[in-house]
Structure 1
Amino acid sequence: MFAALLVGLLLLLPQTVAAEDLESLYGRALQASQSGDFVQALPLWDQVLELSPNDAAALSNRGNVRLALGDPDGAIADQARSIELAPEEPDPHLNRGTAEESIQDWAAAEADYLWILERDATDASALYNLGNVRGSTGDWDSARRLYEEAAHARPGFAMARSSAALAAWQQQDLVWAEAELRKLIRRYPLFADARAALSGLLWQGGFSGEAESHWAAAAGLDTRYRQKDWLLDVRRWPPQPTQQLMAFLALEER
């Protein structure tokens, strides 16, 4: 009887060890992803998926890491497989949309965001990302509306409010844009996006002294706002605000 029990325990042991290894690997992979160490995270997710190839969450996480490492096609493939395994989960659609945006496949990204919004019209991330898509295709009226809806759906979504102000600026609704940016700065004094935007808007209006003051704060918080390509392609500023900020910086650097 004792021998039979011992054999049974030995047969169970490899599965128990494998389960413990998987849990440990998953935790390490997640920690590396969350800390931004994507080079370390990728092989860890590969190992997780070797042990559990149908783990939809692991596939979606690896897809995010692949995108961060400059592999949008691999990211899209991982998110698509995750969707097959968990067809009602919104996160893989959101993540795939982000990867599709990175290769400017606006129609595919929009379809993924609309899939989410058809099921939850108040999903702030999908609203915001769809606003980015609409802005990237030149529809700033729709982009502004979506940014405002995202900010309403998630109180404290400062980037959505800043994007709405930038879209308003693009529409020449300058009074509203300035008022909204000032509100954001009062509430979030270290928010570089609003500071940089207000710098360009004030300079355009002839208030160069105050523009320089806000820019000094913005530049100290985030140097990327000096980069035109980053503003347009990554942060997704509209063309008019971008042009005005670049003009202000060109004059400041003379």
Structure 2
Amino acid sequence: MIKLIAIFLSLFLVLGWGEPVFAQSPPSNLTPEQLQIRDELGDKAFAATDRGDFETAEKFWTQVLEKDPTNAAVWSNRGNSRVSQNKLNEALADYNKAVELAPNVTDPYLNRGTALEGLGRWEDAISDYNHVLELDPSDAMAYNNRGNAEAGLGKWQQAIADYQKSADIAPNFAFARANYAIALYETGEKDEAIHQMKNILRKYPKFADVRASLTAALWAKGEQGEAESNWVAAVGLDPRYKDINWVKNIRRWSPSMVSALEKFLKLQ
């Protein structure tokens, strides 16, 4: 059995991975020996993924597909490795094949949505997330990701509702809570956003994204000392937050939060 990995929130396509889930594929006609080789290649692909070597992972998944071309999980996993290399159109083709082979499994739709978001196809992404929620109304990731796509359309109140729903379903899903705080900041609820960020950090003190967003919010509020302290922690955990283009276009913070961080960076 090849595991199907769901991309961890289209928060930002290269940030990380969710927990693997198993997906059923059509019965294979492979011999036991061929099955063993396939699974060994799959293990190598997962190991490469764990190392962040997505190019190598893609090569292994391609080899698996040569042996087992009707396995939806493998198509979706190769799509994940391609998304992580920003090969979005190629990933989209893989996800389309996975959906064709396993139309009632949620993860290919969820993963395809992230690729569609990366391409700026917000409405198409929302359609995929809606379908996931039709199949599984308690899918916290689908609510979070739909919120991301709605944010891409500037529909911040809808995004807030979806982030909150995601966090309600999965209280330990910290990224949904982080997105919720950023969306609140965008709608002018800045003090509540800061309150939410601080609450998240009490439980997850090494959450770089929230350290960085709290830095921006506190700096804009005039609380420079606390902002600086959080910034040291943020960039120590993840230096990508020094790159405003990455924050804006890959992480996709809200415009107000991006602006606040940009002002902080200019005065550094």
Structure 1 length normalisation: TM-score?
0.89
Query: Taking structure 1 as reference, are residues 213 and 113 closer, same or farther at Cα in structure 2, changes over 3 Å only?
Result: same
**TM-aligned CA distance change 1:220 to 1:23, over 3 Å:** closer
**Residue of structure 2 aligned with 1:154, choices 150, 170, 183:** 170
Partner of 1:212: 228
What's the offset of the Cα at 1:227? 1.6
In the alignment, what sits opposite 1:9? none
Does structure 2 conserve the Cα–Cα contact (< 8 Å) formed by 1:197 and 1:241? yes
Structure 2 Cα separation of the partners of residues 54 and 87 of structure 1: 13
| Letter aligned with residue 209 of structure 1 | G
Match of residue 109 from structure 1:
125
Distance, in Å, in 2 between the alignment partners of 1:214 and 1:243 is 17
Does the 8 Å CA contact 2:146/2:162 hold for their aligned counterparts? yes
> For residues 61 and 175 of structure 2, what CA distance do their matches in structure 1 show?
30
Superimposed CA distance per residue, residues 117-155 of structure 1 (whole angstroms, 9 cap, x where no aligned partner): 122222111111111111111111111111111111112
1:113: how far off?
0.5
Distance 1:188 1:27 in 2: 31
Uncovered stretches (5+) of structure 1, i.e. residues with no partner: 1-13
Equivalent pairs, count: 239
Relative contact order (C-alpha < 8 Å, sep 6+): which is higher?
A: 2
| Greater shift in the superposed pair: 30-39 or 229-238 | 30-39
- Distance in 1, matches of 2:59 and 2:229, equals 46
**Counterpart residue identity of residue 189, structure 1:** P
- Using structure 2 for the length normalisation, give the TM-score: 0.85
Change (3 A) 1:16 1:149: closer
Q: Distance in 1 between matches of 2:85 and 2:186?
A: 32
Provide the alpha-carbon RMSD of the alignment. 1.5
Letter in 1 for 2:107: D
8 Å Cα contact 1:226-1:246 kept in structure 2: no
2:209 is matched with which residue? 193
Deviation (angstroms), 1:218: 1.1
The gaps in structure 2 that reach 5 residues or longer are 1-29
Distance 1:45 1:199, change over 3 A: same
Q: Equivalences for 1:99-178 in 2 at 5 Å? A: 99-178=115-194
Other-structure match for 1:62 = 78
1:236 aligns with 2:257: no
* Alignment counterpart, residue 223 of structure 1, candidates 225, 230, 239: 239
SS in 2 for 1:155: coil
- Structure 1 residue 190: Cα displacement: 1.1
Q: Any idea what the Cα deviations from partners look like across 1:71-97, whole Å, max 9, x if unmatched?
A: 211111111111111110000001111
The alpha-carbon deviation at position 36 of structure 1 amounts to 2.1
Larger Rg: 1
Shift of 1:199: 1.3
Do structure 1's residue 23 and structure 2's residue 23 form an aligned pair? Answer: no
Q: 8 Å contact 1:63–1:76 — kept in the other structure? A: yes
Percentage identity across paired residues of the two chains: 41
Aligned-partner residue type, residue 196 of structure 2: E
Per-residue CA deviation, residues 148-189 of structure 1 (Å, 9 max, x unaligned), is 111111121111111111111111112211111111111111
CA apart distance, 1:61: 0.6
Distance 1:63 1:235 in 2: 20
Structure 1 partner of 2:16: none
1:203-246 deviations in Å (ceiling 9; x for gaps): 11111111111111112111111222211222121001110111
* Residue type of the alignment partner of 2:206: L
Residue 111 of structure 1: CA displacement? 0.7
**CA separation in 1, counterparts of 2:46 and 2:210?**
32
Matched residue of 1:122: which SS? coil
SS of the residue 1:63 aligns to: helix
